[in-house]
Amino acid sequence: MTRFLRNIKLTSLLLIFTLVVGPLLGVVPAHASGGVSLYTTYTSISVPPGESLNYNVELRNNTDSMVTVPLAIKDLPKGWTAKMTGDGWDLNEISVMPNTAQSISLAVTVPMQIDKGTYHFTLTAGSLASLPLTVQITEKGTYQTELTTDQANLEGHSDATFTYSVNLTNRTAEKQTYALTAQAEPGWDVTFSADGKQVSSVEVDPGASKAITVDIKPAENVTKGTFKIPIRAANQSTNSELVLEAAISGKYSLELTTPSGLLSTDVKAGGDKTVELQVKNTGTADLTDINLTSTTPSNWEVTFNPKTIDKLAAGKSTTVEAKITSSDKAIAGDYVTDMTAQAAEASATATFRVAIKGSVLWGWIGVLIILAIFGGIYVLIRKYGRR
């Protein structure tokens, strides 16, 4: 009796020992009842959601007789799938020769949509042996799509193109085709490209991700400021949104014209004419040190007053006087004179058509000559005629 009790005590001690120490050693002789045991090296692992686990399990027969046992997985968490294969076959039952071991592959798929935590399931070989396995899910899994970028904020001029690198990750179980859309303000131009080609939709395999380049061109009349451009990858079942930011640092633009808009004038050969020019800052940022220069026909001269505009605030305009002096050898007709207002950031050119007018002085001298001749004839008539 006592021996029997001691036997039981010993057995339970051994059992406790194996149960407690076994996992620590990484060796699980499982349920060794009847000399059949299930063994795998890694019994507790940590994985992210959506991972596929492959266990190599050995079924060891320590008895002297052949053992045939049915294989099953118990307590598999909801949504998980498991599959046992041996030599490429799906297994339901397995036979093991005396004192030998047989390998089994166990493939377990962790679903995408899963909470963080520890999950347990057990591989059983009939009632002879069982192998408890533990899987720790390191993060909360999502059954959805992810649109991410490292750098969602870019800064540039209004005429720059903003290029964002975006990753589209498909965390669903199926292959998904996403339509790519952007909700930009009117006038903004958003293009998506993948693999170097411009696209409007992309196909992503489950668990895979795709690099997408988003090019954003701001509207022509954009003002200084930060603009949010939400982009979206969506289909019927899943979607994801990401907000990109474009910080416009201001637009530099200059316009040179006249108050009336008339870009032509006339001047006498060798004479001069003063034209009023209007320099307009049509950008959204201030301009400094605007220089006025000119390209003229040879021996012409254009002097500006003032020659340099120190500062011109955005949207403001100022007038400059340009004195055009023509060459005294200029011939009658039209000449081209370019006037340029140039700042470091922007420049504007006004092309003037300057008509040279011949001097009327010789015309009047001609008239005087004719009058003198008529006078002479009149004198002749007075002298010789009427007699």
* Contact positions vs another protein (CB under 8 A): 296-300, 327, 329-337, 353, 355, 357-358, 360, 362-363, 366-367, 369-370, 373-374, 376-377, 380-381, 384-387
Output 17 or 374, the one with its CB closest to another protein: 374
* Contacting residues for 167 by C-beta, under 8 A, at least 6 apart: 146, 147, 148, 149, 209, 210, 211, 212
Query: Measured between alpha carbons, how far is 354 from 333 in angstroms, rounded to an integer?
Result: 8
Smallest gap from residue 277 Cβ to another protein (A): 19
Output 88 or 385, the one with its CB closest to another protein: 385
Query: Measured between alpha carbons, how far is 244 from 184 in angstroms, rounded to an integer?
Result: 10
Query: Measured between alpha carbons, how far is 147 from 169 in angstroms, rounded to an integer?
Result: 6
Characterize 212-247 residue by residue with b for buried, 16 or more Cβ atoms within 10 angstroms of its Cβ, and e for exposed: bbbebbbeeebeeeebebebbbbeeebbbebebebe
By CB atoms closer than 10 A (0-12, 13-18, 19+), residue 352 is: buried
Smallest gap from residue 330 Cβ to another protein (A): 6
Contact 345, 301 (CB under 8 A): no
Query: Measured between alpha carbons, how far is 286 from 12 in angstroms, rounded to an integer?
Result: 88
Output 16 or 365, the one with its CB closest to another protein: 365
Output 8 or 373, the one with its CB closest to another protein: 373
Output 21 or 336, the one with its CB closest to another protein: 336
Output 278 or 340, the one with its CB closest to another protein: 340
Smallest gap from residue 300 Cβ to another protein (A): 7
DSSP track, 1-41:
-HHHHHHHHHHHHHHHHHHHHHHHHT------GGGEEEE-S
Smallest gap from residue 335 Cβ to another protein (A): 5
Smallest gap from residue 249 Cβ to another protein (A): 39
Smallest gap from residue 364 Cβ to another protein (A): 10
